[in-house]
Homo-oligomer: A and B are copies of this chain.
């Protein structure tokens, strides 16, 4: 239980990082306002859905559906819900790093209001993600389609924000080497994963599955990043963040939820560094300029490069530029120029003849890179 932290203590603390890996007890907006500017990498928010339920719902066998009827899900009007949404999103915006991103999950009851508010506040939507449930609750009355999904919005703090973390290559590799789509399939949280109290009753009515949070965190953060959840509830975000080697910050008002989340997170074993290594693509590799190949002798001045079908050719010059029919420039510029295009990746466009076949000069760059790696 060491990770619980009353908001008053946080405000009194002189230590700047005392809020990391803690659950702050208190109101969401007040607690956010106690955190430093631009200090967290990712926010995952599962706000109240503002369900507007009529009476009780019975299954065909007359058993009663255990609906979400908690006090924290009651709002007087759409206006009240919008004001609440605006307040916590504004507080989140200040706490989020410029390179950070925010996730918000909801259903049709609230997600349209959340999305519109995000846009009004100048957040920039990157994707809307659909969580398709393998095992959703049926529609008992037969008057609608089975409500089989929830929606997450992923956004950066403004339209110009560059440099947010998206582990594209890891996602693609995890998805059988095709791009990860915006529709994800996961079971709802049940079985051993579902937190129960002493009477076997579920601790929290809307506990999210860890698999969902794992994909969110793996996609949009790096090990060591700080993940904030302003509606911490049963602490799924904290548990998964800890397991995945990230730091967490939770905000929660209700002591029962804090107790359950705290114990749950305590029991989590973080994965090791090897398991947490994120697969990256070329963008992350050491930059090797073309003239390094010339300087190292892998390419010789005067050597002729061609494209893969020998339609175009160019001569290598000693300064690391290439020339063709009066034109000259970088491998990229000249590649674009001879093809009449705006841009070109010279590394894959230009080839050299190794005596047997044409090979892209990118292969020579790989040789340099592996030499550099050995030298480390």
What is the interface of chain A, defined by CB distance below 8 A to chain B? 56, 58, 62, 78, 107-109, 111-116, 118-120, 125-130, 132, 136, 138-139, 142-149, 151, 153-154, 166, 168-169, 171-172, 179-183, 219, 281, 283, 339, 341-344
User: Residue A180 contacts which of B56, B127, B146, B281 (CB distance < 8 angstroms)?
Assistant: B146
Q: Is the CB of B119 within 8 A of A153?
A: no
Tell me how far the C-beta of A77 lies from the nearest C-beta in chain B, rounded to whole angstroms.
11
User: Residue A179 contacts which of B116, B125, B138 (CB distance < 8 angstroms)?
Assistant: B138
Q: Is the CB of B143 within 8 A of A108?
A: no
User: Residue A181 contacts which of B112, B127, B136, B281 (CB distance < 8 angstroms)?
Assistant: B136
B residues near A112, Cβ cutoff 8 Å: 111-116, 118-119, 153
CA distance A143 to B143 in the complex (A): 40
CA distance A144 to B129 in the complex (A): 11
B residues near A219, Cβ cutoff 8 Å: 145
B residues near A172, Cβ cutoff 8 Å: 142
CA distance A146 to B111 in the complex (A): 20
User: Residue A108 contacts which of B136, B153, B183 (CB distance < 8 angstroms)?
Assistant: B153
B residues near A154, Cβ cutoff 8 Å: 145
CA distance A149 to B181 in the complex (A): 9
Tell me how far the C-beta of A340 lies from the nearest C-beta in chain B, rounded to whole angstroms.
10
Which residue among A181, A182, A341 has the maximum number of chain B CB atoms within 10 Å of its CB? A182
CA distance A56 to B127 in the complex (A): 19
Q: Is the CB of B115 within 8 A of A127?
A: no
Contacts A168-B142, A341-B62 given; indicate if A130 touches B149 (C-beta within 8 A): yes
Contacts A108-B115, A112-B119 given; indicate if A151 touches B168 (C-beta within 8 A): no
B residues near A78, Cβ cutoff 8 Å: 119-120
B residues near A281, Cβ cutoff 8 Å: 142
CA distance A341 to B56 in the complex (A): 13
Closest to A184 in B: B145
Ordered by A's residue number, 20 sampled pairs between the chains whose C-beta atoms are within 8 Å are A58-B342, A62-B339, A62-B343, A78-B120, A108-B128, A111-B112, A113-B116, A128-B151, A130-B132, A130-B183, A139-B179, A142-B281, A143-B166, A145-B219, A146-B179, A147-B182, A148-B181, A148-B183, A149-B181, A149-B182
B residues near A168, Cβ cutoff 8 Å: 142-143
Q: Is the CB of B181 within 8 A of A145?
A: yes
B residues near A58, Cβ cutoff 8 Å: 342-343
CA distance A24 to B299 in the complex (A): 67
Using A62-B341, A111-B128, A127-B147 as known contacts, list a sample of 6 further A-B pairs with CB atoms less than 8 Å apart, ordered by residue number in A. Answer: A58-B342, A112-B118, A130-B183, A142-B281, A146-B181, A146-B182
CA distance A179 to B148 in the complex (A): 10
B residues near A343, Cβ cutoff 8 Å: 58, 62
B residues near A171, Cβ cutoff 8 Å: 145
CA distance A62 to B90 in the complex (A): 40
CA distance A166 to B118 in the complex (A): 33
CA distance A182 to B148 in the complex (A): 5
Q: Is the CB of B153 within 8 A of A127?
A: no
Q: Is the CB of B145 within 8 A of A180?
A: yes
Q: Is the CB of B108 within 8 A of A125?
A: yes
B residues near A107, Cβ cutoff 8 Å: 128
B residues near A119, Cβ cutoff 8 Å: 78, 112-113
Which 4 A-B residue pairings sit nearest by Cβ, starting from the closest?
A: A112-B115, A148-B181, A108-B128, A146-B179
CA distance A219 to B143 in the complex (A): 11
Contacts A112-B115, A115-B108, A128-B108 given; indicate if A144 touches B120 (C-beta within 8 A): no
